Amino acid sequence: MPVEEKEMGFPGFQNSKSFMRVGMLSLILALLALRFVRPNATLTEGAADALKGFLMGVSIACNLMAIRLRQRGNGADNCA
């Protein structure tokens, strides 16, 4: 019996549209955090910057993954 090779991926993210949605959502949250999250007694400046940087990083990674999936033909639609 041949063993099927499975491509590594994320559960629930089978097409480029899913990655694009998560990427855009995290970009919106990061931009809102830039505007509304201010350092105070409970949230230090470093923690606020870490939150913003994490959200920007997730946005970039998800959008690049969506582009990669689209180029490979695994996206829901192949039009740009």
Output the tens digit of pLDDT for each of the chain's 80 residues. 555 545 555 666 667 888 899 999 999 999 998 888 887 878 888 888 898 999 999 999 999 998 988 887 755 555 54
What is the chain's alpha carbon radius of gyration, rounded to the nearest angstrom?
Answer: 17
Residue boundaries of the structural domains of the chain = 16-72
For the record, the structure tokens of 51 come out as: 């939150």
C-alpha–C-alpha distance, residues 22 and 50, integer Å:
19
